[in-house]
């Protein structure tokens, strides 16, 4: 993380705030205003009541995500991530064990030593939002990385939300069935490739730590935990060790979630903290749920998952985007037959049962990351009534008691088959080569 922040600083992509900020609302409020004005990361050097600085907005740009997985020009994010996933399946030597702190002295302390932020007005407590849970499958021993919000209760207890579809929830249930706690570590401030790997949903036998090693291009340095039987990335800024208790549920919430609303108080899991450590000079990574830093990695990982399924089922699929809400999916195809778009719509709806509320299929000349272009294509390339597919009464999220996310909507925004010449986009020759400075040497003004 620190090396990456140094890179951002060197190229002018890191804003640094010297003024002291309050961890309760103020840091999040300033970060939010900055996010609305700039995609740059922001480092708060002085957080009231704490020695540790806080950084936000680190992974907020798709270009940075491409950089994290070493995605070259002419290759899509989805294509490159699939290469890493395939490589990780063959990667046996994905880690190298090093002494504590990779040569740096580790410090130990308490949760209250960490500048854990309170983000939203009704949040029930300060929350760890960027924490990556590392745990092992109780049966296979395969390590898993995943994100789960963690509410601060005391130095000894966090309350966490485990979605029933997540691997960590399955591990916990397996351990609980044996009457055992599940050991886990919460990583805060990881290397970019570890953060990106944690966003990816692999099959149960998949190893996100090996995926991170593939993205890095070399084995991950790991160290042993002090109180639990786990190896954690040695360069993680902060590691919280503990156990998810069996048969215990306690109130957690409210919390401002990624869709822009509060999740009310629920009976959720209890994480018993057994040790907290950090590297000397550590930086705490905060994350505003629903911000670009939250959504861009989730969208990219979800798009890659959908892309993988579509490529195995339908020909002509070129790329997938889930921007800007992750609830929508845009698929770019090279149309090859009448009804091709409808096949893609059906396959996409079945590829991810949580997020595909709206699916749109477009031709290869449409920018799938620009909703203006996507809507333009739908409205100008044919009828609105016959190119709309509504699939009613299909369940959405695993937690949706009011069925607000049921149903699917599909839009065919491709050109009519056999009439491609009629829908050739107009162009102005030479527009790409124009340098505005040659015509307006004084700039564009205000």
Domain boundaries, the chain: 2-291, 293-422
Q: Which residues contact 233 (CB under 8 A, 6 or more apart)?
A: 187, 190, 191, 194, 212, 220, 221, 222
pLDDT at 135: 96
pLDDT at 104: 61
> Is the overall model pTM greater than 0.75, yes or no?
yes
Residues 6+ apart with CB under 8 A from 428: none
- 8 in Cβ contact with 42 (< 8 Å): no
Please state, in angstroms and as integers, the Cα–Cα distance from residue 374 to each residue in 39, 96, 215, 379, 420, following that order.
23, 46, 31, 9, 17
CATH topology (fold) of 2-291: Pnp Oxidase; Chain A (2.30.110)
Cα–Cα nearest to 272, from 162, 159, 168: 159
The pLDDT score that the predictor gives to residue 403 is 80
Query: Is the domain defined by 293-422 classed in CATH 3.40.1670.10?
Result: yes
Q: Tell me how far CA of residue 428 lies from CA of 352, 432, 433, in angstroms.
A: 40, 9, 11
Q: Counting every residue, how long is the chain?
A: 446
**Mean pLDDT (10-residue bins), the chain, 446 residues:** 94 95 96 92 96 95 91 90 93 85 76 97 96 93 93 97 86 94 97 94 90 94 95 96 96 89 92 96 95 91 93 94 91 95 94 86 95 95 91 77 84 93 91 92 74
Place of tokens 């390590």: 143
Angle between helix axes 77-89 and 292-313 (nearest 10 degrees) is 70
- Enter the tokens of residue 147: 């994100």
Whether residue 346 contacts residue 359, with contact meaning beta carbons closer than 8 Å, is answered with: no
pLDDT of residue 446: 54
Instruction: Say if residue 324 is preceded by a cis peptide, omega within 30 of 0.
Output: yes
DSSP 3-state assignment of 269? Answer: strand
């Amino acid at each position: 993380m620190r090396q990456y922040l140094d890179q951002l600083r060197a190229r002018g992509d890191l804003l640094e705030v010297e003024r002291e900020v309050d961890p309760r609302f103020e840091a999040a409020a300033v970060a939010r205003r900055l996010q609305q004005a700039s995609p740059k990361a922001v480092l708060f050097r002085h957080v009231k009541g704490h020695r540790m600085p806080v950084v936000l907005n680190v992974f907020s740009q798709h270009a940075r995500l491409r950089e994290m997985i070493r995605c070259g020009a002419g290759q899509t994010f989805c294509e490159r991530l699939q290469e890493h996933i395939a490589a990780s399946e063959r990667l046996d030597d994905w880690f190298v064990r090093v002494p504590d702190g990779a040569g740096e002295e580790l410090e130990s302390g308490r949760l209250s030593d960490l500048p854990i932020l309170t983000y939203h007005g009704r949040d029930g407590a300060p929350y760890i939002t960027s924490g990556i849970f590392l745990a092992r499958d109780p049966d296979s021993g395969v390590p898993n990385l995943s994100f789960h919000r963690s509410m601060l209760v005391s130095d000894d207890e966090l309350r966490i939300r485990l979605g029933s579809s997540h691997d960590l929830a399955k591990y916990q249930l397996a351990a609980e069935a044996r009457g055992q706690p599940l050991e886990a570590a919460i990583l805060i401030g990881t290397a970019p490739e570890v953060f990106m790997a944690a966003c990816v949903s692999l099959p149960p036998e998949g190893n996100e730590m090996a995926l991170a090693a593939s993205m890095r291009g070399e084995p991950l340095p790991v160290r042993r935990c002090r109180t639990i039987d786990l190896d954690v990335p040695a360069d993680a800024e902060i590691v919280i060790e503990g156990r998810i208790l069996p048969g215990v549920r306690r109130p957690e919430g409210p919390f401002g979630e990624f869709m822009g609303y509060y999740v009310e108080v629920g009976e959720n899991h209890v994480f018993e903290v057994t040790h907290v450590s950090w590297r000397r000079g550590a930086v705490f990574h905060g994350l505003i749920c629903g911000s670009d830093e939250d959504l861009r990695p989730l969208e990219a990982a979800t798009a890659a998952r959908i892309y993988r399924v579509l490529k195995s089922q339908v020909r002509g699929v070129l790329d997938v985007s889930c921007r800007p809400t992750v609830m929508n999916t845009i698929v770019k195809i090279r149309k090859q037959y009448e009804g091709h778009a409808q096949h893609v719509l059906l396959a996409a709806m079945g590829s991810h049962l949580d997020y595909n509320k709206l699916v749109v299929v477009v031709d290869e000349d449409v920018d799938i990351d620009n909703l203006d272009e996507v809507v333009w294509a739908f409205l100008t390339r044919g009828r609105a009534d016959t190119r709309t597919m509504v699939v009613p009464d299909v369940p959405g999220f695993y937690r949706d008691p009011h069925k607000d996310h049921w149903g699917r909507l599909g839009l065919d925004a491709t050109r009519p088959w056999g009439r491609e010449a009629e829908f050739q986009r107009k162009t102005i020759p030479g527009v790409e080569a124009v340098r505005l400075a040659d015509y307006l040497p004084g700039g564009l003004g205000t």
